[in-house]
Each structure stands twice: as C-alpha cells, then as structure tokens.
Amino acid sequence: MKCFPGIAFSLFFLISQLVVAQGQIIGCSYDGSVVNTDNLCRSLKFASNSDAESSIDDMLRQIGLKRNFAIMECPGTENCMAVTIEGIRFIIYDNAFLSKFKTYRFSEAPLIGGSSSTTADWAAISIMAHEVGHHLNGHTLQAGGSKPDLELEADEFSGFILYKLGATLEQAQQAMRSPLISDYGTFTHPPRQQRLNAIATGWNNARNLTAPPDLPPLFDQPNLPEMVYIEGGSFNMGYNSLLSLDEGPVHPVTLDGFYMAKTEVTVDQYRTFCNATSREMPFPVSWGWIDNYPIVNVSWDDANAYCVWLSTVTGQKYRLPTEAEWEYAARAGNQSTVLDYPFSGSLFIGEVGWYKDNSLEQPHPVGLKNANRFGLYDMTGNVWEWCSDWYDAAYYFSSDAKNPAGPYFGEKKVLRGGSWATPTTDCSVYDRDMGFPGLGLHFTGFRVVKEQ
C-alpha cells in the first residue's frame, strides 16, 4: 500500500501500493519505507516464472485458497509488494527475495504450529504472507493506499498462515522484529508492538481453530451448508445468441467431480460465520434478516471470506464455484437450449425459481421451489450467485477445455442464476452477469462448493 498521506493525491497518480510518477514506480515496503523501482520492471515486462507461481500457490493451498492475482519479477523491489497496475493485481518480487521465500517446502507443511523446518527463512515467508493478505482481504481494490488498520489485517493474516505452515509464534514474528520496523509507526503503518500483537492474534486464532479430538467435527453440526456430490463429466457450455454475445460460443467442457451446497448460503449460516469471526452482518434489508432466507448484500470478498473460514473450521477445502462448475450443476447434465430446460430443472421458470414476476419484490426461503436433477435448489432466481471467475465477455473463445477457472485477472467477478428482481430472460442457466468484487447488493448472494 502507498506510503504517502492523503494529500499526495494532488501530486501523484496513485495505484494501490504503487505510485507511477515521471516514469518511476514508487511503492511501499513491508516496513513502511518508500521503495523506488526503476524502469527495469517495465523493460522486463514484469516477467514471472513457474517456480514463483507454484511456490505461492502451494502456500495458499495450505488454507484452501486459490491465487487471485498475478506474480511478476521486478528487480529492485528489495522483497515483495502487493500492487495494482492499470486494474491488474500483482505480487512483484525480486529474485533474491524469492530464493529466501523458497527455502520452505510447502508441499510438506505440517498444518500445526511449531513443528516445521528450522531451515526455512520465516522472515521472508511472513513478508510474502503479509503482501498476499493485502490482495485476499481486498485492500488493493480500494483507492487511497495503505492505512494502519489495513496493515494490521495483513499482519493478522500472516500470523494465521505461518501457524498453518508450522512456524512458532517467535518465527512468525521474526520479520517484525527487524530494526527497520519503526517502534512508533508512520502515517500508513502502525507501531511495531501493534503489528506484533496482530501477528500473534492471527497465529493464536489458527491454533484455537484446531478442534480437540474428542469434539465432533464442526462440519457435522447444524448451520453449515448441506452438500451434494456432483459427479464429474462433460457438457457443452454456453449458448449461441445474437442478443447476448457473451453467452457464446458453445464450447465443450470437462469437469472433475465436486460437492455443491444444496441451497444458497442462508442468513442463519452467514450469521454463524459473523459471530465466529466478530464480523458485522451486511447492511440491513427492508424485509429483515430471516434465518432461512438467502443472505444478501454480500460482496464477492465477503463470500470468499466465508469460504476461507469454513475451510479453516472444517479442515475441508471450500470455495466459490467456478463459472463452469456452476453452469454444469445448474444444467444437471441437461444439454439445455432455449427449447429444452432453459431454467435449472424445468421448462417453466415458476416451477424452479423466484424471479421478477412472482417474487413480490423480495427473496424467499431457500428450497421452496423444485430442485433440479442433481438435488440443487434455487439455481434459477432468488439471488444472483457469485462465482470465483473474473468476468470476460470473450472468455468462451479461449476457455480451457478441462476444469476452466476463468481469466487470469479482471475488473469484475461473474454472477450467475438471476434473482428475485430479474426478468425471465436473464434467469437462464447460461445467462452471464458480473459485479465489482467489493460491492454487495440486495439481490446478490452465493453458494459454496467443496473439493473432493
């Protein structure tokens, strides 16, 4: 995040953690100091390598997350930084730092604090986890650069990840004890002790979420999504239409099996998450928070945070569905056309969904309409459902044929299924919509999937 107070807006064009001024890239380091990286970054066109990508992917895999940013080499960075350039989110790094980060074998992570390799460079790993935390917490989607509270959130995330990787608390705090870290803080970065406390909070939260062996697993308890196994297979995705060009071309897709929630996440289920994480419920709605209604006013970032929490407390890998998984599940194996099951489980929308003409201008309890052949409810209507993919109107022209996960980056996230406020024409199993990941509306919700 940028190292300048708000007045800097009159002097620089600010891009998240980066400031571009007179051909230079100026960023803010882990310790809060200003870092100038010269035009080498641009001359290399932000080159990356598979080692960097796989190392960070392996780290995120320990907590059931997938990377939602690109990774680029930028000599002179000193360590690494989370940045946004022209709307694209990056972790930029230099190779000296990457070598330190790669001292740890993430594939052998023990998932318990204090029992991992003593040869790992925990300072480098904690810095990377901190910067990744900025992206995953949505900080780099906001204008205005860093603030002390954002740095503390990233520090807490770092502590959480390092416990999962096997670091002791002392190891997790190693980088923060560097003499480069200010005892007193700056405009953008809090004092050292506050940051040490935040790392300890994250580390202890991860430790406390490890359930004692004599307790029943949390995912067998009520209030958590009921999952249905969706057997893998192949289908023709999309629909060729001159009216909605982003729905085509129709293209073959093959998917591995996965589990999907029978219903959209409910108010009651989301409240459990909020209570467990001291998170506020979304902005209230006119019809009130009713337990068995789908949660609404949730952003993509909110939905993703729920998946992270659910993964942590259950030990399973929950996430948002890819767009391909969502459409495959909505079709329930049916090769839908406009003449054959355009809605999830029926030719007639009123049998399977709440939409503009029958909803009385609000959502309804989940599971009241008919399920589709896979046993999934409300895949048509009720609330729009967030998918994990970035939206690209032309993506179907270049989509992977096996387990497509969407474009590498983008500005908006995919929404699917239509809602209580949507006309019939926008509720089909192939209709595509999109929204800014930081924005929740009174007709947006989500459902989760679980990997095998």
Render pLDDT for 87-115 as a digit per residue (tens, 0 to 9): 677 888 888 888 888 877 665 554 444 44
Q: 401-408: which pairs have CB atoms within 8 A and are 24 or more residues apart?
A: 401/251, 401/252, 401/253, 401/254, 402/253, 402/254, 402/255, 403/254, 403/255, 403/256, 403/322, 403/324, 404/253, 404/322, 404/323, 404/324, 405/66, 405/322, 406/322, 406/323, 408/70
pLDDT at 4: 36
The CATH number corresponding to 227-450 among 3.90.1580.10, 3.40.50.1010, 3.30.1050.10, 3.10.20.310 equals 3.90.1580.10
**Residues in CB range of 239: below 8 A, 6 or more apart:** 247, 248, 250, 336, 337, 338, 428, 430
pLDDT at 447: 98
Q: How far apart are CA 414 and CA 291, in angstroms?
A: 26
Q: Is 397 helix (H, G, I), strand (E, B) or coil?
A: helix
pLDDT at 95: 83
Give the number of other CB atoms < 10 A from CB of residue 430. 22
pLDDT at 41: 60
Helices and strands: H and E segment counts in the chain: 11, 19
User: Are the C-beta atoms of 318 and 449 separated by less than 8 Å?
Assistant: yes
Q: How far apart are CA 68 and CA 443, in angstroms?
A: 24
- What is the phi-psi region of residue 96: left when phi exceeds 0, alpha when psi lies from -120 to 50, beta otherwise? alpha
Rounded to 5 degrees, φ, ψ at 408 are: -70, -30
Instruction: Show the CA angle centred on residue 400, arms to residues 93 and 312, nearest 5°.
Output: 60
The helix (run of H) or strand (run of E) holding residue 309 is helix 300-314
pTM equals 0.56
Residues of the chain with pLDDT under 50: 1-26, 37-40, 43-44, 46, 110-116, 211-220, 336-339
User: Are the C-beta atoms of 287 and 362 separated by less than 8 Å?
Assistant: yes
User: Are the C-beta atoms of 103 and 124 separated by less than 8 Å?
Assistant: yes
Q: How far apart are CA 148 and CA 384, in angstroms?
A: 34
Instruction: Show the CA angle centred on residue 229, arms to residues 228 and 230, nearest 5°.
Output: 115
Q: How far apart are CA 386 and CA 391, in angstroms?
A: 11
The helix (run of H) or strand (run of E) holding residue 20 is strand 18-21
pLDDT at 19: 37
- Sign of CA pseudo-dihedral 30, 73, 161, 415: positive
Where do the domains of the chain lie? 6-208, 227-450
Q: Which tens digit of pLDDT belongs to each residue from 165-183?
A: 888 888 899 889 888 787 8
Which amino acid is present at 272? T
Q: Is 89 helix (H, G, I), strand (E, B) or coil?
A: strand
